[in-house]
Structure 1
Amino acid sequence: MSGTAGGHLPAAPAPALILMCGRSFSGKTTVAQMLGAALSAEIVSLDSINEERGLFGGQGLPIEEWIRTNEEAARRVTTILTGRGRVVVDDTSSPRFLRDNWRTLAATTASKFVLVYLNTPENVARDRLLQNRRESHRNDVLDEVMADHLDGFEPPDADEECLTTSSASEEMSWLRESVRRRIE
């Protein structure tokens, strides 16, 4: 007999969708990668999907292109969740209807859902944008695109029950364990 005492195998982990939310340059990708590694979750990045399509959101994209990117992300996430996997969706997740769509997808696939909001101050995000321009760690975001993004960003409402962090490194162990508790 293999497995735990009494011969029962431990239950397979429930499928889970962890949704990142935050302004551009808030640290979402860094946190998504940390959570993905810690929770054995795949990462679906909308920026990466855009790049695969030859598009760069920081240059400004028509809404039709964002819709296509979101549809492709939803296909990938659905495949992972129906295969009983875990996935971290790396996106700004604003406006709210986008978060609601991901919640619905999690519910229809009988998956756990966790919203992680990186509440990084705007001045820090702008400083990171300028640092990126000097060091080129990722594609640039045009000033007018960043301004529109910051002006139109919709943070989670109180009823969304998100885990909120500023992305400070000292908060990462708390965040990792908080997400783990919600999905296990």
Structure 2
Amino acid sequence: MGTLYLMCGTPFSGKTTLAKQIAARMGYHYISLDDLMRERGFDLSQTQPVEEWEKTHHICFQLLHTLMQEDTNIVLDDTNFLKWLRERFRAVALEHKYQVRTIHLAIPVTELERRRQQALATGERNYLDDEAFYNVIHHFEVPDQAEDPIIFDMTSELSKWLDTHFPMTSPLA
């Protein structure tokens, strides 16, 4: 049985960095909703219409169906800040008898704001305006116990957190 890992966190929480590290470390397939939007020609430094995000979600669902037929583990990189969004991905996983694990990046707002300002200063990633950024912050639905989240909250060093939750198996001697 495969596992779908749903990244869940606000903008600037480090979802993409962590998702890519997990995927590379474990040999899992990586899917990014932002990348799918960019492939469709959208500039993510600008707020995009909900309808376009919905089209991208449907592209993602199709991709998930295809990958899940191969029984591969998947890391899905998106904010997944609303429970109903996470539930849609769970429904696809259930169809394929996949386990779902939610990885919640619980980063303090002061740190998110610092990272957001750093992105603006360096231009190294997309910057979100106040409306888009604070909309997610204010409407974020924290995964509950029923979702059994794996939480990264910066209280432990990232490498130690990865070793705990995604230990690398050593080859048999």
TM-score (norm. length: structure 1): 0.83
Deviation string 1:41-95 (CA, Å, 9 cap, x unpaired) is: 1111011111111223452222211111111111112211111111100000021
Residue ranges of structure 2 left out of the alignment (5+ in a row): 169-173
- Larger Rg computed on CA atoms: 1
The offset of 1:151, in angstroms, is: 1.4
Q: Is the Cα–Cα contact under 8 Å of residues 118 and 165 in structure 1 kept in the other structure?
A: yes
1:34 correspondence with 2:47: no
- Match for residue 43 of structure 2? 56
CA pair 176-104 structure 1, distance change in 2 beyond 3 A: farther
1:83 aligned partner: 70
TM-score relative to the length of structure 2 = 0.88
Preserved CA contact (<8 Å) 2:152 2:161: no
Match of 2:53 in 1: 66
Displacement of 1:28: 0.3
Distance 2:167 2:92 in 1: 20
Which consecutive residues of structure 1, in runs of 5 or more, have no partner in the other structure?
1-13
Residues 32 and 77 of structure 2 are in contact (CA less than 8 Å); yes or no, is this contact kept in structure 1? yes
Partner of 1:45: 32
Quick one: distance in 1 between partners of 2:130 and 2:143?
24
Aligned counterparts of 2:129 and 2:88: Cα–Cα separation in 1 = 28
Q: Which moves more between the two structures, 118-127 or 132-141?
A: 132-141
Matched, 1:127 2:117: no
After the TM superposition, which residues 143-158 of structure 1 pair with which residues of structure 2 at under 5 Å, given as runs?
143-158=130-145
**Are the counterparts in 2 of residues 163 and 175 from structure 1 also a CA contact under 8 Å?**
no
Q: 1:16 to 1:180 in 2, by over 3 A?
A: farther
| Residues 1:115 and 2:102 aligned together | yes
CA distance in 2, matches of 1:152, 1:106: 25
RMSD: 1.9
Aligned length: 168
Distance 1:104 1:30 in 2: 26
In the alignment, residue 153 of structure 2 is paired with which amino acid?
S
Q: Is the 8 A contact 1:31 1:167 kept in 2?
A: no
C-alpha deviation, 1:16, in angstroms:
1.6
- Whether the 8 Å CA contact 1:17–1:86 is kept in 2: the answer is yes
Shift of the 165–144 alpha-carbon distance from structure 1 to 2, 3 Å rule, reads same
Distance 1:34 1:98, change over 3 A: same
